[in-house]
Structure 1
Protein backbone atom coordinates (compact mmCIF):
# COMPACT_ATOMS: atom_id res chain seq x y z
CA UNK A 1 0.00 0.00 0.00
CA UNK A 2 1.36 3.41 -0.96
CA UNK A 3 0.13 6.72 0.38
CA UNK A 4 0.94 9.75 -1.77
CA UNK A 5 0.80 13.06 0.04
CA UNK A 6 2.96 15.38 2.11
CA UNK A 7 4.84 14.30 5.22
CA UNK A 8 3.71 17.47 7.03
CA UNK A 9 0.03 17.12 6.08
CA UNK A 10 -2.17 16.37 9.11
CA UNK A 11 -4.64 14.34 7.05
CA UNK A 12 -1.85 12.23 5.54
CA UNK A 13 -0.39 11.59 8.98
CA UNK A 14 -3.80 10.56 10.36
CA UNK A 15 -4.36 8.21 7.42
CA UNK A 16 -0.88 6.71 7.72
CA UNK A 17 -1.26 6.11 11.45
CA UNK A 18 -4.74 4.56 11.13
CA UNK A 19 -3.68 2.28 8.27
CA UNK A 20 -0.55 1.14 10.12
CA UNK A 21 -2.54 0.56 13.33
CA UNK A 22 -4.90 -1.64 11.30
CA UNK A 23 -1.92 -3.85 10.42
CA UNK A 24 -1.27 -2.54 6.90
CA UNK A 25 2.21 -2.09 5.53
CA UNK A 26 2.13 1.47 4.21
CA UNK A 27 4.81 3.50 2.44
CA UNK A 28 4.43 7.30 2.52
CA UNK A 29 5.54 8.94 -0.71
CA UNK A 30 6.04 12.67 -0.25
CA UNK A 31 4.95 14.15 -3.59
CA UNK A 32 6.85 17.37 -2.94
CA UNK A 33 10.15 15.57 -2.30
CA UNK A 34 9.78 12.42 -4.43
CA UNK A 35 7.25 13.45 -7.06
CA UNK A 36 4.83 11.02 -8.63
CA UNK A 37 5.12 8.85 -11.72
CA UNK A 38 3.38 10.39 -14.73
CA UNK A 39 1.50 7.13 -15.30
CA UNK A 40 0.04 7.20 -11.78
CA UNK A 41 -0.87 10.89 -12.05
CA UNK A 42 -2.59 10.25 -15.39
CA UNK A 43 -4.45 7.25 -13.98
CA UNK A 44 -5.60 9.26 -10.95
CA UNK A 45 -6.73 12.12 -13.21
CA UNK A 46 -8.66 9.66 -15.36
CA UNK A 47 -10.39 8.23 -12.29
CA UNK A 48 -10.96 11.37 -10.20
CA UNK A 49 -10.83 14.20 -12.75
CA UNK A 50 -10.75 17.72 -11.32
CA UNK A 51 -11.33 16.33 -7.81
CA UNK A 52 -7.61 15.52 -7.80
CA UNK A 53 -6.84 19.26 -7.62
CA UNK A 54 -7.08 20.83 -4.18
CA UNK A 55 -8.47 24.25 -5.03
CA UNK A 56 -8.73 25.16 -1.33
CA UNK A 57 -4.97 24.94 -0.73
CA UNK A 58 -2.61 27.81 -0.08
CA UNK A 59 -0.67 26.71 -3.16
CA UNK A 60 -3.80 27.18 -5.31
CA UNK A 61 -4.53 30.59 -3.79
CA UNK A 62 -0.98 31.66 -4.63
CA UNK A 63 -1.38 30.91 -8.34
CA UNK A 64 -2.21 33.58 -10.89
CA UNK A 65 -5.35 33.26 -13.02
CA UNK A 66 -3.09 32.39 -15.95
CA UNK A 67 -1.50 29.52 -14.02
CA UNK A 68 -4.88 28.25 -12.77
CA UNK A 69 -6.07 27.98 -16.38
CA UNK A 70 -3.44 25.33 -17.17
CA UNK A 71 -4.46 21.70 -17.65
CA UNK A 72 -4.65 19.69 -14.39
CA UNK A 73 -1.82 17.36 -15.42
CA UNK A 74 0.46 20.37 -16.03
CA UNK A 75 -0.51 21.99 -12.73
CA UNK A 76 0.13 18.79 -10.79
CA UNK A 77 3.48 18.26 -12.50
CA UNK A 78 4.57 21.83 -11.71
CA UNK A 79 3.00 22.00 -8.22
CA UNK A 80 2.71 18.52 -6.65
CA UNK A 81 1.29 20.03 -3.43
CA UNK A 82 -1.88 20.92 -5.40
CA UNK A 83 -2.95 17.29 -5.27
CA UNK A 84 -5.81 16.48 -2.92
CA UNK A 85 -4.36 14.29 -0.22
CA UNK A 86 -3.86 11.53 0.40
CA UNK A 87 -3.93 9.46 -2.77
CA UNK A 88 -3.76 5.83 -1.63
CA UNK A 89 -2.78 3.01 -3.96
CA UNK A 90 -3.82 -0.52 -2.97
CA UNK A 91 -3.10 -3.00 -5.74
CA UNK A 92 -5.12 -1.81 -8.75
CA UNK A 93 -7.39 0.44 -6.67
CA UNK A 94 -7.01 4.16 -6.04
CA UNK A 95 -8.56 6.05 -3.13
CA UNK A 96 -8.59 9.83 -2.79
CA UNK A 97 -8.88 11.69 0.49
CA UNK A 98 -9.50 10.35 3.98
CA UNK A 99 -13.27 10.58 4.42
CA UNK A 100 -15.53 7.99 6.06
CA UNK A 101 -16.01 6.11 2.78
CA UNK A 102 -12.26 5.67 2.22
CA UNK A 103 -11.68 4.82 5.88
CA UNK A 104 -14.43 2.19 5.78
CA UNK A 105 -13.06 0.62 2.63
CA UNK A 106 -9.42 0.52 3.74
CA UNK A 107 -9.72 -0.21 7.43
CA UNK A 108 -11.89 -3.26 6.78
CA UNK A 109 -9.46 -4.77 4.26
CA UNK A 110 -6.80 -7.07 5.58
Structure 2
Protein backbone atom coordinates (compact mmCIF):
# COMPACT_ATOMS: atom_id res chain seq x y z
CA UNK A 1 0.00 0.00 0.00
CA UNK A 2 1.26 3.46 -0.89
CA UNK A 3 0.28 6.35 1.35
CA UNK A 4 0.13 9.59 -0.57
CA UNK A 5 2.31 12.33 0.85
CA UNK A 6 4.22 10.12 3.29
CA UNK A 7 7.99 10.02 2.88
CA UNK A 8 10.93 8.67 4.84
CA UNK A 9 14.21 10.59 4.94
CA UNK A 10 17.58 9.30 6.02
CA UNK A 11 20.85 7.77 4.89
CA UNK A 12 20.57 4.37 3.25
CA UNK A 13 23.48 2.75 5.09
CA UNK A 14 22.28 3.86 8.56
CA UNK A 15 21.28 0.82 10.64
CA UNK A 16 18.20 2.51 12.10
CA UNK A 17 17.05 3.61 8.64
CA UNK A 18 17.54 0.03 7.42
CA UNK A 19 15.37 -1.26 10.28
CA UNK A 20 12.65 1.28 9.51
CA UNK A 21 12.64 0.50 5.80
CA UNK A 22 12.54 -3.24 6.52
CA UNK A 23 9.60 -2.68 8.88
CA UNK A 24 7.76 -0.69 6.19
CA UNK A 25 8.42 -3.42 3.63
CA UNK A 26 7.30 -6.21 5.97
CA UNK A 27 4.05 -4.30 6.53
CA UNK A 28 3.53 -3.84 2.77
CA UNK A 29 3.91 -0.08 3.00
CA UNK A 30 5.48 1.46 -0.09
CA UNK A 31 6.85 4.74 1.26
CA UNK A 32 9.23 6.82 -0.91
CA UNK A 33 12.75 7.13 0.51
CA UNK A 34 14.93 10.24 0.24
CA UNK A 35 18.62 9.76 0.99
CA UNK A 36 19.65 13.22 2.13
CA UNK A 37 23.34 12.39 1.89
CA UNK A 38 22.98 11.63 -1.84
CA UNK A 39 19.99 13.80 -2.75
CA UNK A 40 20.64 16.72 -0.44
CA UNK A 41 18.30 18.44 1.95
CA UNK A 42 16.45 21.70 1.58
CA UNK A 43 16.87 24.27 4.36
CA UNK A 44 13.15 25.04 4.28
CA UNK A 45 12.27 21.40 4.88
CA UNK A 46 14.82 21.00 7.68
CA UNK A 47 13.55 24.23 9.28
CA UNK A 48 9.99 22.88 9.14
CA UNK A 49 11.12 19.73 11.00
CA UNK A 50 12.85 21.87 13.62
CA UNK A 51 9.76 24.09 13.95
CA UNK A 52 7.54 21.01 14.40
CA UNK A 53 9.71 19.04 16.83
CA UNK A 54 12.28 21.44 18.24
CA UNK A 55 15.93 21.33 17.21
CA UNK A 56 16.82 18.99 20.09
CA UNK A 57 14.61 16.23 18.63
CA UNK A 58 16.12 16.55 15.15
CA UNK A 59 19.77 17.15 16.07
CA UNK A 60 21.53 13.92 17.05
CA UNK A 61 23.97 14.60 19.88
CA UNK A 62 24.76 10.87 20.11
CA UNK A 63 26.19 10.65 16.60
CA UNK A 64 29.87 10.22 15.84
CA UNK A 65 29.55 13.38 13.73
CA UNK A 66 28.54 15.35 16.82
CA UNK A 67 31.44 13.98 18.83
CA UNK A 68 33.79 15.04 16.03
CA UNK A 69 32.59 18.66 16.10
CA UNK A 70 34.89 21.29 17.53
CA UNK A 71 34.14 22.67 20.98
CA UNK A 72 33.24 25.97 19.31
CA UNK A 73 30.63 24.23 17.13
CA UNK A 74 29.21 22.42 20.16
CA UNK A 75 28.99 25.62 22.22
CA UNK A 76 25.77 27.59 22.47
CA UNK A 77 23.76 25.53 20.00
CA UNK A 78 20.35 26.97 19.25
CA UNK A 79 17.89 26.27 16.42
CA UNK A 80 19.58 28.42 13.73
CA UNK A 81 23.03 27.06 14.56
CA UNK A 82 21.73 23.47 14.68
CA UNK A 83 20.12 23.90 11.25
CA UNK A 84 23.37 25.22 9.76
CA UNK A 85 25.35 22.34 11.27
CA UNK A 86 22.83 19.75 10.02
CA UNK A 87 22.85 21.21 6.51
CA UNK A 88 26.64 21.06 6.48
CA UNK A 89 26.72 17.55 7.98
CA UNK A 90 23.47 15.62 7.37
CA UNK A 91 24.72 12.80 9.60
CA UNK A 92 23.87 15.10 12.53
CA UNK A 93 20.16 14.59 11.78
CA UNK A 94 18.41 11.98 13.91
CA UNK A 95 17.31 9.27 11.52
CA UNK A 96 15.03 8.27 9.99
CA UNK A 97 12.66 11.19 9.61
CA UNK A 98 9.11 10.14 8.75
CA UNK A 99 6.94 12.89 7.28
CA UNK A 100 3.44 13.36 5.95
CA UNK A 101 1.37 16.47 5.28
CA UNK A 102 0.66 17.02 8.98
CA UNK A 103 3.26 15.14 11.04
CA UNK A 104 7.00 14.68 11.51
CA UNK A 105 8.71 11.98 13.54
CA UNK A 106 12.38 11.16 14.08
CA UNK A 107 13.88 7.82 15.00
CA UNK A 108 12.35 4.38 14.68
CA UNK A 109 10.50 1.97 16.90
CA UNK A 110 7.95 -0.71 16.04
CA UNK A 111 5.49 0.87 18.45
CA UNK A 112 5.81 4.39 17.05
CA UNK A 113 5.52 3.22 13.44
CA UNK A 114 2.53 0.99 14.25
CA UNK A 115 0.81 4.00 15.83
CA UNK A 116 1.72 6.28 12.90
CA UNK A 117 0.28 3.85 10.33
CA UNK A 118 -2.53 2.65 12.64
CA UNK A 119 -1.50 -1.00 12.40
Query: Is TM > 0.5 for Structure 1 vs Structure 2?
Result: yes
Question: How far 1:65 moved relative to its partner?
Answer: 1.1
Q: Distance in 2 between matches of 1:40 and 1:22?
A: 27
Q: Could you tell me the TM-score, scaled by structure 2's length? A: 0.81
1:68 aligned to 2:74? yes
1:19 aligned to 2:29? no
Q: Deviations over 1:24-58 (max 9, x none)?
A: 22122111111212221011101121111110111
Correspondence for 2:49: 44
Structure 2 stretches of 5 or more lacking a match?
Answer: 1-5
Structure 1 stretches of 5 or more lacking a match?
Answer: none
Q: CA RMSD in A?
A: 1.6
Question: How far 1:101 moved relative to its partner?
Answer: 4.3
1:59 aligned to 2:65? yes
